Amino acid sequence: MSELSFAKRLIDHTEIPSAIVDRVTLSLICCNQNFQEFVSRRNLPLKFGRLDRTRLGWREHPEIKLTEHKGNGFCLIQLDVQLKEELEQAQRQIKLDQMIEEAYKIQLENHDFLHKVFNTVATTLIVVSTEGHIVHINRHAEKLLGWDAANCLGLSFFDVIEDSNGIPQTFDSFKSLESTEIDFAVGNSRVTMLVFTNPFYTKSGNLSGFVCSASDITRLKQVTEELIEARDRAQVASRAKSVFLSNMSHELRTPLNAIIGYAELAEEDILDGEFDGLNEAINVMKKSGYYLLELVNGVLDLAKIEDGRAEVNATDFSLEGLAKQIQTMVEPLAIKKSNRFQISLSGDQPQIWSDQQKLKQVLINLIGNACKFTENGVIELCISEESDGVRFAVRDTGRGIPPEKKKLVFERFGQAHDVNSQKLAGTGLGLTISQSLVKLLGSQGIELKSELGKGSEFSFLIPRVKMTDEAMDAFKVLIVDDEAAIREYLIDCIGDGSIKYFEAENGDQGLSLFMTKKPDLVLTDLHLPHKSGIEFIEEISPTETPIYVISGTSIDSLKDKCQQLSVKGFIEKPFSPDEIRDIVRDLRSRDVA
């Protein structure tokens, strides 16, 4: 039997996958059944020459066992199946490891991406475990809440926010919330956050923890509250407007009905030839007319103040002079009801920097009210110096104001007493206007003290205000005249709010103001109390400040004397506003030139 035949019989009787191939061409000569099944399962080519034609190549495939039979022209190939399976398993493991490594790499990249997103979003994010411990916080939370992630991790969420307001009492109640507002303590301030709580779960559906996302709504809440307040103010203003118009219509009808009614009665009396009742009718119509005028003026003043059109024309004036002006105007009102009016001026405060006209208006209104509701009593104007300003108080011994009506008197058309039995007691706007005026002058407002049956006190503090640099540099006019009406008329004639006016009612005050205020123009009367105008001029001469003498009598005999001093010109009463304006305009134009 030849070796080839023996080999064929051998491979047929062995379970090892075996084949006989040509030694030169490596083409398959024959193989057993196991070899065929092995090759077919792996879809391998039966011509091994396609794999490798060298013995070295065979050796690179350890699962192939090569047995050579020299000189006989064939090779016996046996496959080591167990080794082959181990190699394939190793290859599969390598591929699996590569896949795991690639997946881990992708996971790391995703984790890095999510970490960057977590710390980049402009929203506070806090991750809490199912037990309520902080697992993660992002940088926005650290920055906004002032927390340190390293110190917060692992702590109870409730312990960290224990100084905050609006948090639930238990973690279970916190977990059930979808959103809630929490006031976080941040340093010495508080930040209102809208917190949303969202649970997250594992793949198996088990609760893993909670993500708390929070937005700072501090500014939003503030704006919302401001809008609500603005809306409420607008609604109050709208209601006040309606009430005001309703009251105005009533206040206007009352005097108008009186005027029309008495006018018709007077007309009937005249037609009937009866004139005895005309005086009474005319008096009622006149009082009603004055009331209407006061009402209209009050409404106009109030509108000007509320619209911001009221201006403060501050001047430096004498408190003593102001008190005397007021006394001249209100004393007849006090005497009318058998009252005694007195002035108490204390403290070393001869001058004040404020709006004299508005201050006078307030004081006259307060004293006028005291005169209306006081009979056979005392009404006192007290002016006293305090550390931070000058206090003005009007006291009376009248009937007093009930406690429940103390606020009412400052409201529009508010009345403390029933005035139905009184004829046109007042418009009910005086105290409203006065309250607005004193606030315009820098006061906190009018304070009221009153006791029924004993009297009332209305007081306010005008703060001490220094002249601004602009006022110091302004054109200054010193007016010396014992008549307050003349001083006011001269100021009105000039009519320039940029000019600073100083008023003196006698020569002594005039000299003091001239030395301290350094005026650019002096307007003086010659007939002054205590010290004559000539003496005043002599004491301030020689001076480069222009002095103009104002007099209602002939001063020809004094002209030579005045001209020898520093008098620049003479103004005879009555004079026109243009005369005064021309003098001021000429002097100011020279200063500019």
- Give the pLDDT confidence score for residue 53 in this predicted structure: 42
Q: How far apart are CA 491 and CA 479, in angstroms?
A: 9
What would the two tokens of residue 313 be?
Answer: 């024309």
**Rounded to whole angstroms, what are the CA distances from 450 to 398, 438, 463?**
10, 20, 24
Q: How far apart are CA 283 and CA 550, in angstroms?
A: 39
Name every residue whose Cβ is closer than 8 Å to that of residue 350 and which is 6 or more positions away in sequence.
Answer: 318, 319, 320, 509, 512
- Give the pLDDT confidence score for residue 341 in this predicted structure: 93
- Give the pLDDT confidence score for residue 55 in this predicted structure: 42
Give CA 208 to chain center in angstroms.
45
- Give the pLDDT confidence score for residue 396 in this predicted structure: 94
Q: How far apart are CA 559 and CA 564, in angstroms?
A: 9
- pTM of the entire structure? 0.44
Torsion angle of C-alpha atoms 116, 117, 119, 123, degrees rounded to 10: 170
Q: How far apart are CA 435 and CA 444, in angstroms?
A: 9
Cα within 13 Å of Cα(63), Cβ side: 12
Q: How far apart are CA 259 and CA 256, in angstroms?
A: 5
At 140 the three-state DSSP class reads helix
- Other beta carbons within 10 angstroms of residue 209's beta carbon come to 19
Q: What is the DSSP string of 285-311?
A: HHHHHHHHHHHHHHHHHHHHHHTT---
Burial tier of 118 (Cβ tally within 10 Å: 0-12, 13-18, 19+): middle
- Other beta carbons within 10 angstroms of residue 114's beta carbon come to 10
- Give the pLDDT confidence score for residue 591 in this predicted structure: 59
At 137 the three-state DSSP class reads strand
The single-letter code of the amino acid at 461 is: L
**Rounded to whole angstroms, what are the CA distances from 99 to 95, 105, 109, 111, 156?**
6, 10, 15, 18, 40
- Give the pLDDT confidence score for residue 87 in this predicted structure: 60
- Give the pLDDT confidence score for residue 420 in this predicted structure: 46
Domains in the chain and their CATH numbers? 3-79 (no CATH), 118-222 (3.30.450.20), 225-306 (1.10.287.130), 311-463 (3.30.565.10), 476-591 (3.40.50.2300)
- Give the pLDDT confidence score for residue 383 in this predicted structure: 92
Question: What is the mean pLDDT for each group of 10 consecutive residues in the chain (593 residues)?
Answer: 75 80 77 78 50 42 53 67 64 84 86 80 82 82 76 74 56 65 74 82 86 84 89 78 68 75 82 77 80 75 75 78 84 88 78 83 89 91 89 92 79 56 56 87 90 91 68 78 85 79 88 88 87 85 86 67 78 83 80 50
